[in-house]
Structure 1
Amino acid sequence: MAEQRNIFLIGPMGAGKSTIGRQLAQMLHLDFLDSDTEIERKTGADIAWVFDVEGEEGFRNREHDMLDELTKRHGIVLATGGGAVIRQENRTHLSARGIVVYLKTSVKKQLARTLKDKRRPLLQTDDPQSVLESLAEKRNALYEEAADYTIETDEQSAKVVASQIIELLDF
C-alpha cells in the first residue's frame, strides 16, 4: 500500500486553515490536526497563556517542537499557526514532509474573520489592522516560499476551497 501523503495548510490567521482543514480531512478520510490545538493539549493551557507566560519566543519554541512531531505523521491534514513559517527549519520540515498549501487572504477579510476572537494574542491591541498589515509584510513572502500551491480563500466557502485542493493535488 502506498504511503499516505500529508497536506499542510499555511497562511495568516483568519485564512480559514482550521475550517478548511477539517472539511478537507473529512472529504479525504484523513486525520485532521491543528498545531495550536495540539500545543494547548500538550501544555494544558491556551495559546494566550503561553504567550503571556513564555513570550512569543517561548511559544515559537513549543510550536517548532510540535510541528517537528506532527509533520512526521502520515496521512494527515495539518492546519498550522499563522507564524509557523517564521523559522526556516519549520518551512523545511513542512516542505520535506508533505504538500504545502498556502491559503491566501486579504487583511480586510482577516479583520472580519477575527474581529471577535479573543484567543489570538497578537490581535489583542487597539489597532489589529496595523498588526495584520505588519504581519502580512513580514510573512507573505515566507508563505509563498514554502507553498507548493496557493489558493485564495476570501470569497469562497470552506467546502469549495477543500474541493479545489483535492482537484489540484489529484487525490
Structure 2
Amino acid sequence: MPPNSTTLKRPLVLVGMMGAGKTAIGGAVARSLGIPFLDSDEELVRAADRSIAEIFERDGEAFFRARETEIISRLLDGEPAVISTGGGAFLSEPNRAMINDKATSVWLKADLSLLWSRVRHKTTRPLLRTDDPLATLTEIFEARTPIYAQAQLSVEARPEYSIEDMAQNVIATLSEADLLKEADT
C-alpha cells in the first residue's frame, strides 16, 4: 500500500496491555502514513545490549522503568513518528504527562480473553513468569485499565480485526480528532 497523503501533526504513542498489538499495529500505521515506527522496548534492548527479561532479572523493574522514561523522552523529541511503548510505560504519571504533552496517546483497548489468547504461549513476558500467569494477567489488566483510559484516544481491538484493520481504525480515529495534516510532498 503506498503511503497516505496525510501525516501526523505530532508523534503518536500507542499504549495498552501486553498483547494489545502496539508493535504490529504501530508498524502498520507508520507504513500507511509513510513515517518512522519506533518501539521503546526495542530501543531499550539495543541501548542495554540485553533482553527486557535480562534487564528485569539483573537490574530490577525500577531500573528498567527509569531507562524506559529516558528512551521515551528521547523518542518524543525526534521527528513525528509512531511510537510503541511497553505495557507498563503509561503507568508512570511523569511518562503520561510527557506523552500527553508532546504527543497524541492512543490506547489499544483489548479485552482480557483476547490478550490472554495472544500472550499465553510467549516466554518473553517477565511479568507473566508466575505459577498462574492468567491470574497475574487478570490482576495487571484490572489495575492498568483505569490508567490506560487516561489516554487521549482509544481504539477497540477485536479478535476478527486484522493488523491492517486496526491500523486503519487508528488512522480514522486520528482523522476524526483532526490530528492529521497533509504530508509534505
**TM-score by shorter chain over 0.5:** yes
> In the alignment, does 2:57 pair up with 1:18?
no
> In the alignment, does 2:47 pair up with 1:48?
no
Which of 1 and 2 has greater Rg? 2
Aligned to 2:93: 88
| C-alpha deviation, 1:154, in angstroms | 2.5
Report the 3-state secondary structure (helix = DSSP H, G, I; strand = E; otherwise coil) of the residue aligned with 1:81: coil
In structure 1, which of residues 60, 68, 72 is the aligned counterpart of residue 73 of structure 2? Answer: 68
> In the alignment, does 2:160 pair up with 1:168?
no
Structure 1: distance between partners of 2:152 and 2:85: 15
Asked whether the equivalents of residues 155 and 173 of structure 2 are also in contact (C-alpha less than 8 Å), the reply is no
The runs of 5 or more residues in structure 2 that have no matched partner are: 1-6, 181-185
| C-alpha deviation, 1:4, in angstroms | 4.5
In structure 2, which of residues 72, 77, 82 is the aligned counterpart of residue 77 of structure 1? Answer: 82
> In the alignment, does 2:167 pair up with 1:135?
no
> In the alignment, does 2:131 pair up with 1:126?
yes
Aligned to 2:154: 150
Aligned to 1:159: 164
| C-alpha deviation, 1:144, in angstroms | 0.9
The runs of 5 or more residues in structure 1 that have no matched partner are: none
How does the TM-score come out when normalised to structure 1?
0.94
| C-alpha deviation, 1:76, in angstroms | 0.5
Structure 1: distance between partners of 2:110 and 2:119: 12
How does the TM-score come out when normalised to structure 2?
0.87
Asked whether the equivalents of residues 7 and 77 of structure 1 are also in contact (C-alpha less than 8 Å), the reply is yes
Report the 3-state secondary structure (helix = DSSP H, G, I; strand = E; otherwise coil) of the residue aligned with 1:42: helix
> In the alignment, does 2:12 pair up with 1:7?
yes
Structure 1: distance between partners of 2:112 and 2:173: 25
> In the alignment, does 2:100 pair up with 1:100?
no
Report the 3-state secondary structure (helix = DSSP H, G, I; strand = E; otherwise coil) of the residue aligned with 2:70: helix
Could you tell which deviates more after superposition, 21-30 or 123-132?
A: 123-132
Alignment length (residue pairs): 169
Paired letter, 1:148? Q
Report the 3-state secondary structure (helix = DSSP H, G, I; strand = E; otherwise coil) of the residue aligned with 2:107: strand
